[in-house]
Amino acid sequence: MDDHFMLSGWRTPPADFARRVRDRLHQLDREAEPVHRFRPLSRIAACAGALVLVVGAFSFPAVQAGARAFLDLFRIVNFAPVAVQAERFTALMERPDLDLPRMLSEQVEVLKAPGPRQTVADTAAAGAAAGIQVRTPTWFPVGLERDLIEVSADEALRFTVSTAKLKRVMDAFGIDDLSVPEEIDGQSATVRVPAVVRIRYRGQGHDVMLIQARQPQVTFPAGIDLASLAEIGLRVLGIKPAEAHRFAQSMDWRTTLIVPVPADAAAFKQVDVQGNPGLLIEAIGARARGKLPAASRVLWSSGNSVFALVGNVPPTELFEMAQSVH
């Protein structure tokens, strides 16, 4: 009796058994997918909201502070990255005649202002202030330690859609082959952004912020052609007409956020964060110049919450941190 004989009992798992186990794991995959429910009135038109958010996200330079981008993140469950020419949109954002952050509306009413951020002592206090169970990473890059916890209160906005305004924006971008859905003119949309918890970690020249909150609520009247609005938004982003049309028709705009990724400053990968859809964006500009890594980010949603991890540690470590958030 030698090792060879000991191994003679070894065998390949039966095919039907392997298939059953694999099917079971895939079933677990499906069970883990978040269920997205939208209130009947609204059909929660994240599309129009997403258009606003997409425009707001134009200012998404790779090293941008996390807070603003995270507000964009609030409206989404799935992430669809789109490469954009950052310089073009930065310039457009600065044109006062377009007022791109309010691309859809000339009337924006602040229903509730968030007020200044409050610094709190610990995660328990942050959770109590924000009304959520705060999650934190259990794994950190070497030298990184918690530095600050802040909470900003919830806020709410109502805006009234103006097709005239939208047409002006489209004209400015030379988009003349798409028509504006007239039925949205005068319709009101409400955006409610829950309280946000920001936990900052610092050390050895690195700065990472974990941002978390409940899912936002974007409420729109039912019946809006979300795909048409999305197509306009994609064209504004600079996507080619055929591609924008195909993409607009293929996405579920009630659950998807377009995340503009500067084409010359970042690379991205759609990732799985603890079984949830996410997006990893690496800022590559500074790294290419031999400096410290610029801020990369991981965005993901989990159940009723959304998360962003933004920082200048290597993307692999940022991803590792995200995977450890509990």
Partner 1 sequence: MTSEVRETNGSMWRAAAARPDWDAVFAEQLPRVYNFLRYRLGNEALAQDLTSRTFEKAWRERHRYRRDLAGFSTWLLRIARNVAIDHRRTAHEHAPLEAAVEVAAEGTPEEEAVIRSNFARLSVLIGKLPERDRELLALKYGAGATNRAIAQITGLSESNVGTILHRAVQTLRAEW
* Residue ranges in contact with partner 1 by CB under 8 A: 1, 3, 5-18, 20-22, 24-25, 28, 80-83, 139, 239-240, 243, 247, 261, 263, 267-269, 271-272, 274-275, 280, 282, 284, 315-316, 319, 323-324, 326
Measured from the CB atom, the residue of 103 and 273 that comes closer to partner 1 is 273
CA neighbor of 239 nearest in space, from 65, 50, 81, 76: 81
Task: Please report which residue ranges of 33-180 form alpha helices under DSSP H.
Answer: 46-56, 66-73, 86-93, 123-130, 163-172
The label of the residue with tokens 């959520």 reads 132
**Shortest reach from residue 51's CB to partner 1, in Å:** 16
User: Smaller CB distance to partner 1: residue 112 or 269?
Assistant: 269
In the complex, minimum distance from the CB of residue 290 to partner 1, in angstroms, rounded to a whole number: 15
Query: What's the closest the beta carbon of residue 84 comes to partner 1, in angstroms?
Result: 9
- DSSP-assigned states of every residue in 192-220: EE--EEEEEEEETTEEEEEEEEEPPEEE-
Q: Measured from the CB of residue 25, what is the shortest distance to partner 1 in angstroms?
A: 5
* Closer of 130 and 299 to partner 1 (Cβ): 299
Least distance from partner 1 to the Cβ atom of residue 89, Å: 14
Triad 217, 221, 226: Cα angle to 5°: 85
* Closer of 129 and 283 to partner 1 (Cβ): 283
Please enumerate in sequence order all residues whose Cβ is within 8 A of that of 220, keeping only pairs 6 or more positions apart, or say none.
Answer: 42, 43, 44, 45, 48, 49, 187, 189
Q: Residue type at 72?
A: D
Nearer to partner 1, 21 or 41 (CB): 21
